[in-house]
Structure 1
Amino acid sequence: MPQKEVQRNESIVLVTPVWKDAERLRGFGRGLAATLVNVPYSIHWVIADDGSGDEERQRLKQLRAEFLAVFPEVSLYFADDHRGKGAVVREAWAEYPEVDWLAFVDADGSLSPDELVRMLDTGMESGCSVLAIRKRTEETRVALSFPRMVAHRLFRLAVQVLVGLRCEDPQCGAKLLRADDYRAVAGRLEEDGLAFDAEMLAAMAGSGSDWKELPVTWIEKDGGKVRPLRDAWGMLAALWRIRSRQAHTTPQNRRDD
């Protein structure tokens, strides 16, 4: 796919989805605010709460005030109800229909702010969407618990077999998308939970969009709400739903190597 020359005045909206996660966001957010203030392009950071309740909203408002003292482009989005990570990311993105790039990063800090900015830099310099992937290289390291490592490999295989998506790590919690590519498929995305990445990428691939996959250093943090064994059946059910919808929308959703 031809790449456009990226201008530094293009804008990014970065969403961090949270659900009862203010404490984990506190540490990661401080580092992220201190890092974002030095980027050379326009970026707005949105902390998107997935219906955590009034007490959590107050905590997030306090954190926003703290982050604003360091980085002046931080806002909050509050979903009315708890629907899932995919739903709140899409809702927050929809609040910014004019931006050039859409991104998200998880709040747990498994991906450091410096690695996030490296992903953003790669997209801004190449003009392509960029997916962070958990992959060991000479420059990166990955630390995953055994259950999560097994779940990661099995889910990647299931995504390829059931959905036809060739992606090294469709579920890694950091992505930067060309907004036009995302908006072309946004109207038909339905998965509200953890499988929303797979549905989104499969739809984008089916519409002809492409992306770069960037190995990053990823260090698993304690306290996450995802439980690989507990969540496995729900993820597989979501892939079956995606597969069924694919049959009624596009003839194939595979990336060409």
Structure 2
Amino acid sequence: MLPSRQRDERTSRPTLLEIVVPAHNEERRLPGGLLQLCAKLACLPFPTAVIVVDNSSTDRTAEIVRTWPQGPVPVRLIECPTPGKGAAVRAGLLETTAPFVGFCDADMATDLCAVEPACGLLLSGESIVIGSRAHPQADVENRHSKVRELGAFGFRALARVLVPGVSDTQCGFKFFDGGLAREMAARLRTDGFAFDVELLARCVAAGASVLEIPVTWHDVPGSRFSPARHSLSILLELVRIWLRLRAESSGALKLKQPLDPVGYP
């Protein structure tokens, strides 16, 4: 914990980094996750803040955030009635105002030791820094079934069509230039699990580059993803993203084409 004088100096300066945490019925995992996140952010040499997005929870998720003790890292709650992780992250990003923003999962499956290098890269001029479990230097503890692993392999193959060169679009650890994130979040239409693909694809289409960094990742029990229940819906989401981006690209090209002169014989 910082001394009171240092806390006052920290909170008097503008917030440089805001992190969004989407949460749906996370009363069990959220307290531990927030403790870890706030402790890590309090060690950074600049002001930070956390936004927890309650995504139509029916448990004590919202109450936990409302009563969270305020320290050197402010934690605030916003509500997102639209179901889906993508909808929650979009709502959170649009509430940010900081120069740099990010989002991570409530379970903190990605070790927060990656926060410092991600922030350093943003400060050095990178627009997008994402954690990658597929990075050669990543340390991944995976207890998933073979069926889920096969599904993840297929998903990554399809995602690479939309976001070429990115090996892991789904790691819940992503940091952005704040202006870029808010602009792309405003255009985001995918509410479900595949929202990361659309968000990154839109950033790349706007000319931004994506830098993947290795992470330490461990499987945390309680994941809401089920291959049996969600595989088909995710496949449909990817198809919709591809069709939507293709239609937008075609429309933009038509607008750029010069109009033929009218009224001449």
TM-score normalised according to structure 1 size: 0.83
Find the aligned partners of 2:135 and 2:149 in 1 and give their Cα distance. 13
Task: Give the letter for the 1:120 counterpart.
Answer: C
1:130 aligns with 2:129: yes
| 8 Å Cα contact 2:65-2:76 kept in structure 1 | no
Secondary structure, in 3 states, of the residue corresponding to 2:124?
A: helix
Look up the match of 1:195.
Answer: 194
| Structure 1 match to 2:207 | 208
CA 1:222/1:55 → structure 2, altered by over 3 Å: closer, same or farther?
Answer: closer
Counterpart mapping for 1:199-238 below 5 A: 199-238=198-237
Secondary structure at 1:149 match in 2: helix
Mapped to 2, the partners of 1:127 and 1:41 lie a distance apart of: 18
* Equivalence map 1:90-239=2 (5 Å): 90-96=90-96, 98-135=97-134, 137-138=136-137, 140-144=138-142, 145-146=144-145, 147-161=147-161, 163=162, 165-239=164-238
In 2, Cα distance between equivalents of 1:29 and 1:187? 26
Offset at residue 181 of structure 1 (A): 2.2
Amino acid at match of 1:51: S
Report the counterpart of residue 73 of structure 1 in structure 2: 74
User: 1:54 offset after TM fit, Å?
Assistant: 6.7
Aligned residue type for 1:204: C
Preserved contact between residue 102 and residue 176 of structure 1 (Cα < 8 Å): yes
Q: Deviations over 1:130-163 (max 9, x none)?
A: 011113545x3111213443222211101123x3
| CA 61–184 in structure 1, closer or farther in 2 if over 3 Å, else same | closer
The alignment partner of 2:199 has SS state of helix
SS at match of 2:239: helix
Q: Deviations over 1:189-209 (max 9, x none)?
A: 200111110001111111111
* Residue 34 (structure 1) aligned with residue 39 (structure 2): yes
Regions of 4+ moved over 6 Å: none
Cα drift, residue 82 of structure 1: 4.3
- What amino acid is aligned across from residue 57 of structure 2 in structure 1? S
Over the aligned positions, Cα root-mean-square deviation in angstroms equals: 2.3
Residue 176 of structure 1 aligns with an amino acid whose one-letter code is F
- Give the conservation status (yes or no) of the 8 Å contact 1:14–1:45: yes
Aligned-partner Cα distance in 2 for 1:128–1:185: 12
1:108-150 superposed Cα distances (whole Å, 9 cap, x missing partner): 1211222334323332234331011113545x31112134432
1:43 aligns with 2:48: yes
Query: Partners in 1 of 2:59 and 2:104 — Cα distance?
Result: 23
Q: 1:56–1:164: structure 2 CA closer, same or farther, 3 Å change rule?
A: closer
Question: In 2, are the aligned partners of 1:89 and 1:104 still within 8 Å (CA)?
Answer: yes
Task: Give the secondary structure class of the aligned counterpart of 2:187.
Answer: coil
Q: Tell whether the 8 Å contact from 2:15 to 2:49 is kept in structure 1 after alignment.
A: no
Distance 1:121-1:25 versus aligned 2 partners, 3 A rule: farther
Greater C-alpha Rg? 2
Q: Does the CA contact (< 8 Å) of 1:130 and 1:213 recur in 2?
A: yes
Establish whether residue 241 from structure 1 lines up as the match of residue 246 from structure 2: no
Q: 1:27 to 1:200 in 2, by over 3 A?
A: same
Long gaps (5+) in structure 2: 1-12, 251-265
Give the CA deviation at 1:164: 5.1
CA contact (8 A) 2:93 2:182 kept: no
User: Which secondary structure state, in structure 2, belongs to the residue aligned with residue 17 of structure 1?
Assistant: strand
8 A contact 1:21–1:107 mirrored in 2: yes
2:163, 2:197 within 8 Å by CA — same for their partners in 1? no
Q: For residue 43 of structure 1, what is the amino acid of its counterpart?
A: T
CA offsets per residue over residues 36-62 of structure 1, 9 Å max, x none?
Answer: 111012321111110113743223323
Change (3 A) 1:53 1:165: same
Amino-acid identity (%): 27
Please report how far the alpha carbon of residue 215 of structure 1 lies from its aligned counterpart in structure 2 after TM superposition. Answer: 1.2
Measure, in 1, the Cα distance between the counterparts of 2:183 and 2:222.
Answer: 35
